[in-house]
Structure formats: structure tokens, C-alpha cells
Structure 1
Amino acid sequence: MKLHIDKNEQEAIENAIAHWEENSLIDKETADRLRHSYEVKGFDWRRLAQYSFWIALSCIVLAFLSLFVDQEILQLLSTLYETPNIIICVFCALLSFLFYYLGYFNKKRHPEKLFTNESLIVLGVFSTATFIGYLGKVIDKGDGMYSFLFLLSIVIYTVLAIQLSSKTIWAFMLIALGIWFATETAYHSNWGFKFWGMNYPLRFTIFGILLTVFTLVLHNKWAAIRGFKQLSYIMGVLYLLISLWLLSIFGNYSDLDKWAATKQYHIFYWGVLSTVVCLAFAWYGLKKNDIIAREFGIIFLLINLYTRFFEYLWDNINRAIFFSLLALSFWLIGRKAEKIWSGSFLKKKDVPPKL
């Protein structure tokens, strides 16, 4: 049975086989066998399935939102307004259990139906979130302690992610963890924008550091969550680098009026810190062959540099010069990327390029 690949994968595989053959790592017979061991798919059905389920989930969300603009539906909802919150809470709990049940057993019986199974899991996650929201209404004491609900969702999602071996649920757990951190610190600062002298970007910078360190140092010590290490690492790095980028723009200000009245060079050091951290990630990724650190480091380094470019030059130079410099910078990046790509994938002096 031949391996089915797409056209992008075909080029990489052909380049690899040609490189091995040219450097006498494999003989001609082995190279020919490898070339005949795969075939290019005529149509990418996997991608169609992925996009179809994404669209289906989006349509479900749109259908839910449409309930609130249709007058007939609104009249029906108004008749259900008196339904006790506990009834809706129990209904959503049962609905989420049903979705998880279907997703889990469908995953066991048909593991190849990846997107169908994950769609059922996502619907279960949404139902769980609704259940927790109405549970909050049932037990609400008017003290604004919403962080307890997010903490509850973290516990539920963690247990479900481990029991169902679902990276999707684990991703939602990490998002809920970030929301819990934000609401918990906001609650203890009387819903102000600063907690212990830190605004939200600075707080989430520390949060991202803690999550990243936890992932790298402690994640392997628990077998139950070892399979989620890469996802936790990605989320931790994203929390950290996005927060640092926002910090480089807004500084540690909690008042937008004060920030708007401040010259950007007064918070230049945050931009320097963000750039240095991105460089450190890129260097570490290149040195240790860590793809996640390398890719995110380079991407956010470029984002930081272009953010500074807009901040300091947009109001200070002629627009024609501004866009000319912007075009030149992208051209240089493209040229350098082309050289790297050519050096990595097109080292085939004797193999003519495809037309």
C-alpha cells in the first residue's frame, strides 16, 4: 500500500531522496523503491474535512447568536425566561455529558474520524462552559467572586482532558487558567487595572513565564499530563510573548489617558526587554533545535521590530519614505528567507528545477 501525500510534501520527499542518492547514503535501487512507495493525492480530502467541521462549528455559533435577532425566537425565549436557572444548569450538564460520551466512544470506534470526534468534544466544552455559567447564577451571592467559576472549569477540563486524552480540552483548560488568573487578580485589586503595581500585560508576562517554566521543568514528572507538554509549552510561550509585546506598547500604565499623553520613548525599555526575550528564544531554538522557541522567537522579533518602526517613524517621516523603507525591509527579509530555503531544500546541482 502506497503512502498518500500532498504536492507540498512531494517536493520535500523528492529533494530528500535526491540528496541521499547524490551523497551515496542510499543506492539507486533503494532510491527508486522509495520514489515508488508514495503517490500524490488528487484532492486533499483531509483539509476539506477540517475546514468543513470548522465551518459547521462556526455556523452553530452563528445560529446561537441569531436567536437573539429573530423576533419570533425572542418571543419564544421570553416565554422560557422564567425557567429556573437550576433546570438550565442541569440540562447543559447532561448535554455536555452526551457530547463527551459520543466523542469518546466515536474516537475509540473510529479514530480516523479526527475532525468529527474533535467537533463533538468542542461542543461538549461549550456546553460545559454554559453549565458553569448557569451554576454561577444558581450559587451567586452578589460578591462578584467569578474566579471561583473559572477555577471550577479548570478542574473539570483538566479531569476530562486526562480521562479522554483530549488536547482540545487541555487547550481550553489553559485558556480558562488565563481567565481565572485575570479575574482572581482583578478581584483582589477591587476590579482595578493594577494588582501589586502591575497592569494586565505585566501580570500575564509573569504568568507566561511560570507556565513555560512549569512545562519545561515539571511536566514530564506526571505521566498523566506528559502528552500535553508541547501544547502547554506553546500556550506558555504565547502568553509570555504576546504579553511582552503589549507591554512594549502600553508599558505598565493602567490609564489610557496617561498612556496617550506619554511619549513612546519613555517606555522604550519595555520594547528592549521584549526584543531581547524574542532574541533569546530564537537563539535557544536554533542552538537546541527547539522548533517552537525558534519559530515564535523569530516571529515575535519581527512583530516587535515592525511595531517600533511604526511607533517611531509613522509621525516623523514622509509617508513615501516610510512605505519605501517598509518595502525595502520586507524585500530584504524575503531575499534572506529565499537564500535559507534554497540552501536547505534545493541543494541539487545536478537535478534540474521543475517547470
Structure 2
Amino acid sequence: MKKAESELMACESADWCHRGLISAALSAQLGHRYDREGSALSGLITWLGLAAIFLLGMAVLSVIGLSTASAGVNGVLLAAVAWGLWYCGIRMISDPAQRHPVTGSALVTIGLAAAYGAMTLLTLARSDDLGADRMFSLLIVTAALSMATAYVYHLRWPLILSLLCLFHGLGAWHEYAGDGAYAAAIQDPPTMALTGAMCAALGLWHQHAEEGMLARYAGFGRLYVIFGLLYCNCSLWFLTLDFYSEAHALGWILCFSAACVAQIVLGARFRDGKLTGFGIVFLSIDLYTRFFEHFWGRLSMGLFLLIAGLAGVVLGWCFERRAEVVTQ
């Protein structure tokens, strides 16, 4: 909320109290909630204090863990930390004055991430071999815990963690490969594409329901749409690459292109910028990938980049001209 709006609400609550419309206790609560004096400094101090406590606590746990050299002990200690962070975050969120809503959401999310780490350590304590199946199962469990927390306490940050864990638990992964390079893969791209499309469809329904019976969960549907479109489009894009599906590459290229065009059309139809944006971005990636596959080995690097740049300028000019015609 802007500072001017907060000051207006504080003044209005004081005026209501003087008129006898609300009690003095309610007026004090509203005034405290919308009083923004020194909020930036107090927020900075709060975050610094929390960071110091967290880092010191992890340092102590690290010393204990190194001295014991036991994954089980480390897992129990990390589980205790996860519970403490989650509990403190929930207490802040449940505060009627809502003095630290962002801090509370952050602590809850960090606590859930620490819970995944604790489960991993406890699994390692039972068996030295942490296979992919066990890792994916732990991610699904973490996703369920995060989603339950998000819906019970109306929090969006845990929902973000839940969706990340869910899609990674279904077979998506990435890692740093060294020398500034990153690697990403999807275990079963067709299934992931279907799952992403279903998640995006659920998000569109959720956004519509947020205007009525799901008003308490405003913003949740947007996250479903974003994550669903991201993983759906990435999966379809991977399927167009030769090393994923060389025999059926042309079919997947047509499917990917059609999906991108459909997103642009649906975005324009429903005036949803997320659909339009994802469609345009991944259609551009599709065209660039096809251009790279067919001309990278046939042209010099300078000529390749020159043609790509000129094509981008020409397309941008055409789109701007089209937008001017539509608005006139």
C-alpha cells in the first residue's frame, strides 16, 4: 500500500473513533497497522536480525554435525530448525496487526525447504544410496506440505515452493555444469507437457473462481498458470530437439508451434497477458531454434547474427505498424 493511502487510512480510523463509529481498541489497531513511520528502517532491522539469528543457528548446527559426523543427528537438528522457522512464521502471519507478513511468509517457506533437507538427511541415515526415486518422493512430500500450508494460511510463497517441488518431483531437473554452463532435462517430456497444460488450465479456472468462492486465495491461480505454461512449453521445446526425439521431431515441431499460436490467440481472446507473453516468447524460441538448426552450420557467425538481428527488427516494425492500425 502506498504511503499516502496508509496515511489516509490512519486518519480515517482516528476520525471514526472520534465519531463513535468504532471502539478505541479497534482504532488503535487500525492506526498501528497503517502507520508507516519508520517502516523501512524497522523492516531492515528485522531482516538483519533474522539473518543473523539464522546464520548463527546454522553455524552452531554445523559444528554439532561435524563433531558427530552423523547424517541422522544432522537430520534431527535440521528438522527442529525447520519446525522452529515454520512455527515462528505462522505466528507472524497470524498476528492480527499484520506487522510482519512478508517476514512470516519467508520464514514459513524457508522452514518447508529445510524440512526437505531434513528428510533427505534422515533418508541418508537409513541408507547411503539416495536414488532418484527416493529424491522425487521426498520432493512430492514437500510439495504436499507446502501446498497444505499455502491453502490453510492463504500464503503464496509456499505455493511457489510447492509447484517447484511438484514439477521437479515429476522428473524435471537442472544443475550447474561448470564454466558458466547450465544443464536441464526432463525425464518424460510428453507427460510433463500434459501435466503443465493441466496445471495451466487449473490456474485459469482458479483465477475465475477467485472472483467468487475462492476470493481468499487471490493470486494462486496466476502461479498455476505461470508454472504450468513454463513447464508445458519447455517440455514441448525439448521434444523438438534432435537428441530428444529425432524420429518424430517434425511432428513435435508442429505441435509446439501450434501450442504457441494457441496461447497467443487465447491470450488475446481472454485479455490475459500471461498467455500472450508465454506464447510470443516460446514461439520466438521455436523460430530461433529452427533457424539455428538449419543455418548455423551453413553460414558464418557474423552473417548468421546479422540475418537474425535484421529479422528481429523487421518483425518488430511489422508488429508496431499492426498495433497502430488496430488502435486507430
For 1:300 and 1:243, how far apart are their aligned partners in 2? 11
Taking the TM superposition and a 5 Å limit, the aligned residue runs for 1:4-19 are: none
Task: Determine the structure 2 residue equivalent to 1:306.
Answer: 288
- Gapped runs of 5+ residues in structure 1? 5-44, 68-72, 184-197, 254-258, 348-355
Q: Which residue of structure 2 lines up, in the alignment, with residue 81 of structure 1?
A: 69
Q: Give the corresponding residue for 1:233.
A: 225
Structure 1 length-normalised TM: 0.61
Structure 2 SS opposite 1:166: coil
Percentage identity across paired residues of the two chains: 19
Query: Does residue 276 in structure 1 map to residue 230 in structure 2?
Result: no
Alignment partner of 2:91 out of 105, 110, 130: 105
**Alignment-derived partner of residue 93 in structure 1:** 79
Q: Which residue of 1 aligns with 2:239?
A: 247
Q: What CA deviation, in whole Å up to 9, does each residue of 1:64-113 have, x standing for no partner?
A: 8xx9xxxxx9998542204x60x333322221222122223333446465
Distance 1:101 1:338, change over 3 A: farther
For structure 2, which runs of at least 5 residues remain unmatched after alignment? 7-38, 173-185
CA positional deviation for 1:318? 3.4
Q: Does 1:151 align with 2:140?
A: yes
1:210 alignment partner AA: M
**What's 1:41 paired with?**
none
Amino acid at match of 2:255: L
1:118 to partner: Cα distance: 3.6
- Residues paired across the two proteins, number: 265
Say if 2:150 and 2:159, in contact at 8 Å, map to a contact too. yes
Q: Normalized against structure 2, the TM-score is what?
A: 0.65
Q: Which amino acid aligns with 2:146?
A: Y
Q: Does the 8 Å CA contact 1:103/1:117 hold for their aligned counterparts?
A: yes
Q: In structure 1, what residue type is equivalent to 2:221?
A: K
User: What is the distance in 1 between the residues matched to 2:227 and 2:165?
Assistant: 12
CA RMSD of aligned residues (A): 4.1
2:198 is aligned with 1:210: yes
Distance 1:225 1:305 in 2: 41
State how far apart, in whole Å, the 1-side matches of 2:99 and 2:320 are: 37
**Which residue pairs with 2:123 in the alignment?**
136
Evaluate the alpha carbon distance shift between residue 139 and residue 342 of structure 1 in structure 2; reply closer, same or farther with a 3 A threshold: farther
CA 1:235–1:302: 2 relative to 1, 3 Å: same
SS in 1 for 2:151: helix
1:48-87 to structure 2, matched below 5 A, reads 78-82=66-70, 85=72, 87=73
Give yes or no for the alignment of 1:121 onto 2:108. yes
